[in-house]
Structure 1
Amino acid sequence: MSVSNGAKLVVLSLLCAGIAGCGLPRSGPNKSEIFKGSVLKQGDAFIVQVNSRVTQATSVMPSYGFSNSFMNAGVIGSDMIAAGDKLSLTVYENVKDDPLLGNSGQRLSQLNELEVDGQGSIFIPYAGRIKAAGKSPEQLRNEIAAKLDSQTPDPQVIVQRVAGDGSTVTVAGEAASQGIFAIERPTRTLSAMLARAGGVKIEPGQAIIRVTRNGQTGKVWLQDLYQNPALDIALRPGDQIVVEKDSRSFTALGATGSQSRVPFDTQTLSAIEAIAIVGGLSTNIADPTGVFVFRNEPSEIANAVLGRNDLVGAQRMVYVLDLTQPTGMFEARDFLVRDGDTVYVTEAPYVQWQKSIGAITGTAGAATALTGQ
């Protein structure tokens, strides 16, 4: 029994209605749907077209640096003695038969690995306890010689500092070598100590150096440290140096080469660089007029962007980039992506049209099969 053309049309209409009711698959909202979320249309987000003024107002990046207590600390003497250090003491006496420190006939006496105690002192036979911490070997030599001079004629004293547990710093985190390192003549500054530890084992653009001293902490980008000698602070015994990996990231969604959470690999990251990292715009489906950056913006920045002063608390902001405009690529190059941003690229309108045609074509084929024609 054959089916009439009218029945075919009924079946086809029912299938098309089903497709329209279910909706076609897509990667996210289109441009018009995003704009419907604007506060101008009773939505809860401010939608802003990116221009040079907006770019300038939103160009805020993490500010790292050291406080005055770090910056004003001068380089310590390379041989400055500290509690925990070890000293080597050599005394030459101008007597042969009855030396004060050595055996008979022995003019040269050595005391090796004298440890400076927690109070910063050492004990020397016939000289007693002597404060050593905070002095140079030359200063300590003169003091010891003066104390021994009254007991042995014109003693000649040599004091050498052996790097011990006193003048040391700790290097940890993403440093190539981790451990406790002595502050010596070549390693009295932060960059020199990092070099002593073998540098960093992560990308330099992602490295942040944190230094903790006496309960205070300062941070600096590794690249800034190398580019700005003023940030190369002098070290102090007990400093804790930690190499950290930048934890910032953004999320890429929509018609891009890949959709994922992406870590920052440089201090600053522009919108055009963020798109490039995830493979650029998808050639077949992306709408270059609909590149959006979603962000919760602090009130002070939101007020500056919108030319207002009444907003309080974080504001939902949607920044719009149109890459087809004469300055669109420049705006995307200058607009900075920040930690936690969502970069979303909409699909071109014709993509949904193609999907609709494909769905209808498929539906028509299904209808033909059902009717047996």
Structure 2
Amino acid sequence: MDFKKKLLITAMTSSLLVGCAVPGSHLELDNKNIIEPEQTDTSTENSIDDRVNVYPLTTQLVGQLKAPKTQSRTNPSLDAQLIRYQYRVGPGDILNVTIWDHPELTIPAGSYRSSSESGNWVHADGTIFYPYIGLVKVEGKTVTQIRDEMARRLAKFIEAPQVDVNVAAFRSQKTYITGEVNKPGQQAITNVPLTLLDAVNRAGGLNTDADWRNVTLTRNGVEQSLSLHALMQRGDLMQNRLLEPGDIVHVPRNDAQKVFVMGEVKEPKLLKIDRAGMSLTEALSGVGGINELEADATGIFVIRSTLNQQAVNQGEQPINQEQQTSNQGTVANIYQLNIKDASALVIGTEFELQPYDIVYVTAAPISRWNRVVKQLLPTISGFNNLTEGVNRVRVW
């Protein structure tokens, strides 16, 4: 009978080792073309360990990592631009020309029509037609320059003409506000200077999914990143800009402002960093806290890829593994928080998370052991049941 038991145990072990016979989400790789990674230098085989730094989180370290607080600043260069600003007429605009004491020239189309209806349309060649003087080149000129030229030319026909010129409709120049604003679309450039802050307010402000920190302004094919968080909430006017014709302001979604909380927490999930930022303590609170029965309080880690962080700061996509291996610098920093001491929660509150950070809470050693036992119990129970069955057969 001992031989039969050994034979039965051997058969069971063999069946467990056969992948096709075991249920579950096992993927077969037989007969597949498996591409092995090229190993050009055996000395760098384990170099990933040398390119990852681990830092215990302390009050001093958190103070060094904390980004300097944005201060309120003025913008003298923008102020100077606003003082010098003058609107320049373009094709599509409608001008309203007034010649005092000469109503026949001022309202030739009738007094019951609006200025935009009875005004002088700027044609595609940048000119308007006016009685007596014919075509007047107005494109690229200010209303003051147009007024002076028309007065000079009308002086040949009218004694001391008093000319006034204003824009009845601004139609030639536009800027575009796109993305996560309440009213995206085009906005006209007028004789009133239009700044970035004005454009966002005209668009109804930002919606709840907007990324306040990575707004882009594209001008003549050149893109620059601006922070509406610093501008609107911190008063940093250096982030403001005077918009020009053809500018595109894009407010992205906060999809890149995300962190991953995994491991021994109540509810592992992805969290979004809002415009106020997110600390490590806030992230743990957002997932219901750590699992008190399973978690190791000394093993709360924040894994931060230095390469991905550089890409996110530049508004780019995260770097892939091939790009990482081509860089010989540090690929990641790992920060460890020990919350066995209650004061450590203060450190977690001051530690600011960054996009694509991974917060991982490890399991306690006893929890890992219990899981191993839990996996073995079905097999042990089955073996005991099988043994009992064999003994019954032997009694019979």
Which of 331, 342, 346 is the equivalent residue of 1:330? 346
Q: Does 1:264 align with 2:259?
A: no
What displacement does 1:345 show? 0.5
The Cα of 1:324 is off from its aligned counterpart by 1.6
Residue 172 of structure 2 aligns with which residue? 166
Supply the distance in 1 between the matched residues of 2:101 and 2:367 (Cα, whole angstroms).
Answer: 97
Coordinate RMSD, CA, aligned: 4.2
Quote how far apart the aligned CAs of 1:88 are. Answer: 2.0
Does residue 339 (structure 1) correspond to residue 355 (structure 2)? The answer is yes
Equivalents in 1 of 2:259, 2:95: separation in Å? 54
Q: Deviation string for 1:90-137 (max 9, x for gaps)?
A: 334459xxx67888xx9xxx8934344566543433224444345443
Whether 1:140 aligns to 2:146 is: yes
Q: Is it true that 1:126 corresponds to 2:132 in the alignment?
A: yes
Cα distance between partner residues in 2 of 1:126 and 1:261: 72
Instruction: Kindly state the Cα deviation for residue 351 of structure 1 after the two structures are TM-superposed.
Output: 1.8
Q: For residues 176 and 71 of structure 1, do their structure 2 counterparts lie closer, same or farther at Cα, with a shift above 3 Å needed?
A: same
Does structure 1 residue 350 correspond to structure 2 residue 366? yes
Are 1:75 and 2:91 an aligned pair?
no
- The alignment status of 1:49 with 2:43, answered yes or no, reads no
Which one has the bigger strand percentage?
1
Describe the SS at the equivalent of 2:81: coil
What is the one-letter code of the residue matched to 1:336?
E
How many residue pairs match? The answer is 320
**Partners in 1 of 2:236 and 2:305 — Cα distance?**
36
CA separation of 1:367 and 1:213: change in aligned 2, threshold 3 A: closer
Q: Percent identity over the alignment?
A: 25
SS in 1 for 2:252: strand
- TM-score, length of structure 2 as denominator length: 0.65
Gaps of 5+ in 1: 19-38, 302-310
2:161 is matched by which residue type in structure 1? P
Q: Which has the bigger relative contact order, CA under 8 A and spacing at least 6?
A: 1
- Quick one: which of 96, 110, 135 aligns to 1:88? 96
Report the counterpart of residue 242 of structure 2 in structure 1: 234
Q: SS at 1:193's partner residue?
A: helix
Which shifted more, 335-344 or 76-85? 76-85
Kept in 2, the 8 Å contact 1:76–1:234? The answer is no
The aligned residue for residue 306 of structure 2 is 297
The aligned counterpart of 2:296 is 287
- 1:78–1:188: 8 Å Cα contact kept in structure 2? no
What 5-or-longer segments of structure 2 have no aligned partner? 17-45, 311-326
Q: Which amino acid in structure 2 is aligned with residue 319 of structure 1? A: Y
Tell me if the contact between 2:210 and 2:253 (Cα under 8 Å) persists in the aligned partners.
Answer: no
Shift of 1:292: 0.9
Q: Give TM-score scaled by structure 1 length.
A: 0.69
Change (3 A) 1:217 1:162: farther
Partner SS, residue 199 of structure 2: helix
